[in-house]
Amino acid sequence: MATPAEWSQFRGGPTRQGSDQPSTITPANVSTLPTLSTAWHADIGSVISSPAVVGGVVYVGANQSLYAFPTICSIEPSCEPLWTGPTAGGIPSSLAVAGGIAYVGSLDHKLYAFDAAGTQGCSGTPKLCTPLWTAETGNGVNSSPVVAGGRVYVGSDDHKLYAFDAAGVTNCGGVPKTCAALWTALTGDLVYSTPAVSGGVVYVGSDDGNLSAFDAAGVTGCAGTPTTCAPLWSAPTGAFASASPAVTNGVVYMGSNGGLKAYDAGGAINCTGSPKVCAPLWSAATGPFFASPAVDGGVVYVSAFDRKLYAFDATGTSGCSGMPKVCGPLWTAVISSAVDAISISSPVVTNGLVFAGTGYGDHFVRAFDATGVTNCGGTPKVCTPLGTVTPPALSARRRRWPATTSTLAPTDSDSRRSVSRSRPSAHSTPSVHSAPSTPGRRVGRWRPARPGR
């Protein structure tokens, strides 16, 4: 088995572009995907988050534990963890691994930091690890942490974005060690969105419908003790901004139930007022979605609830016109024809291929030509898959939602039905290391019950 490339954080890294370094799957052999078999598996219960792959180890959260497995198991097909880190709540968010530390959020209102090597604070057979440090938030953590510039950033259901010292030193103390935030920022609703960091700025969405940009250092726009920060700029997206932004080449791409929008990352073009509010450089209509965009090779890819994959010109030129500028897709693809399927998985791009998955009745991962050439044709252009992976059948136990999922009562002011504080996950993202998946979000004005981000 080939050694997997590394994928240390949700969407691959701090900028959340969702594009990967070369893997063993290429356009030349992608047609053999249906013949792939499971190399190994581990029965760890309900898995909502996407795995992180670093240094020959796969890290993944499930139910109330963080698990670390070898990428290549000596005992197959079943694999035992190298170590396990228990938490006091479910883990809907995806891992971040940086500087020898594995960070994960939990529904118990905490961010956990474990020794990624499974040494410090670890003992016993099977090996159990206690955290190097923990940090309290005001509510459950569905957002996935991002590590950049010596800080770890994460959103919480208490409507806040938090910044902590990644090393667990500043604002940290006690036994067991706990950390207070370096700074926080209040938004108008739940922060399911996973932050992206680029150029000294943190970008994050909120269920209040806004994309907000904050000074990553916690200086500009920040004051008080404890330190709280106001946004450098914000942008209304027109719907719940639960997806994770992607940042590249000075542009922030943000998806929501209102479609895809591109903003000037510097907060200058199309931005006015005090406090500063930004309008998009361009926008594109898609089906509703809360999956995160992938950006690679000058193309932005998004998957939507209408079971389609959309590809747009990242520069907002080809297929774009009008004022304000609106873009049509370079090409689209039907990810699934099953009427009960929903595409809640974020696409991933590698080796000239774009992978997208579906769930809820159709559990497939499909690969398309990222350039929109092979298996593509017609006007408007439509593409068909180059290859398809059918994951192993799920056991009844694996299909169950985590016990931590709680259902809210409908209200007169908000016509949600059977709404849940932890939604079906789109947080699990397709990667070339494992099959795609991603975070779930609200449809219309109700949330499908799901495990979370």
> What pLDDT was estimated at residue 392?
57
Return the pLDDT at 395.
Answer: 41
**Per-residue CA distances from 404 to 62, 98, 242, 394, 450 (Å):** 12, 28, 20, 20, 10
Which of 197, 424, 246, 423 has its CA nearest to residue 349? 246
Is the torsion defined by CA of 99, 163, 263, 50 positive or negative?
positive
CA 94 to chain centre: 7
**Which one-letter amino acid corresponds to residue 126?**
P
Q: What is the pLDDT of residue 450?
A: 34
Say if CB 265 and CB 315 are below 8 A apart: no
C-alpha to C-alpha distance for 371 and 352, rounded to whole angstroms: 7
Q: Assign 3-state DSSP to the chain and report helix, strand, coil percentages, each to 5.
A: 5, 35, 60
Q: Which of 192-206, 297-311, 422-436 has the lowest mean pLDDT?
A: 422-436
Of the candidates 228, 251, 263, 243, the residue with the CA atom closest to the CA atom of residue 303: 243
Measured CA to CA, the distance from residue 301 to residue 358 in angstroms comes to 15
Return the SS3 of 399: helix
Q: List Cβ<8 Å contacts ≥24 apart for 119-126.
A: 122/83, 126/80, 126/81, 126/83, 126/84
How many Cβ atoms sit within 10 Å of the Cβ of residue 68?
A: 26
- 420 vs 178, which has greater pLDDT? 178
Strands annotated E in 36-195: 52-54, 57-62, 65-70, 83-86, 96-98, 101-106, 110-115, 122-123, 128-129, 133-136, 146-148, 151-155, 160-165, 172-173, 178-179, 183-186
Q: Decide: 135 and 108 in contact? Cβ < 8 Å.
A: no
Please compute the mean of the pLDDT values over residues 116-132 and round it to a whole number.
Answer: 96
Q: Name which CATH class applies to 10-420.
A: mainly beta
Max CA pair span of the chain: 65
Q: Is 32 helix (H, G, I), strand (E, B) or coil?
A: helix
Dihedral sign computed on CA atoms, order 198, 310, 390, 3: negative
- Report the pLDDT value the prediction gives residue 30, as an integer from 0 to 100: 75
H or E, element range at 128 = strand 128-129
Cis geometry, peptide bond prior to residue 392 (ω within 30 degrees of 0) = no
Range of lowest pLDDT (130-134, 153-157, 242-246)? 242-246
Which is higher by pLDDT, 73 or 385?
A: 385
So where are the chain's domains? 10-420
Average pLDDT rounded to a whole number, residues 361-371: 82
Question: Quick one: tokens of 57?
Answer: 């180890």
What's the CA gap between 269 and 280, in Å, rounded?
Answer: 9
Q: Which residue has the higher pLDDT, 125 or 345?
A: 125
Query: Could you tell me the pLDDT band of residue 288, with boundaries at 50, 70 and 90?
Result: confident
pLDDT at 282 over 90: yes
Report CA-CA distances (Å) from 4 to 42, 70, 72, 151: 18, 11, 9, 27
Residue 35 phi/psi, 5-degree rounding, is: -90, 0
Please name the amino acid found at residue 91: I
Q: What is the mean pLDDT of residues 338-343?
A: 68
Work out the mean pLDDT of the chain and round it to a whole number: 80
Do the beta carbons of residue 111 and residue 154 sit within 8 Å? yes
- What confidence tier does 63 reach under pLDDT thresholds 50, 70, 90? confident
Q: Report d(CA 426, CA 18) in Å as an integer.
A: 13
* Greater model confidence, 270 or 415: 270
Tell me which of 414 and 165 has the higher pLDDT: 165
Contacts of 370 (CB under 8 A, 6+ apart): 296, 297, 299, 301, 311, 349, 352, 353, 354
Query: What pLDDT was estimated at residue 150?
Result: 95
Kindly tell me the number of DSSP H helices and DSSP E strands found in the chain: 1, 42
Q: Are 320 and 327 in contact (CB under 8 A)?
A: yes
Considering 13-27, 31-45, 179-193, 395-409, the range whose residues carry the highest mean pLDDT is 179-193
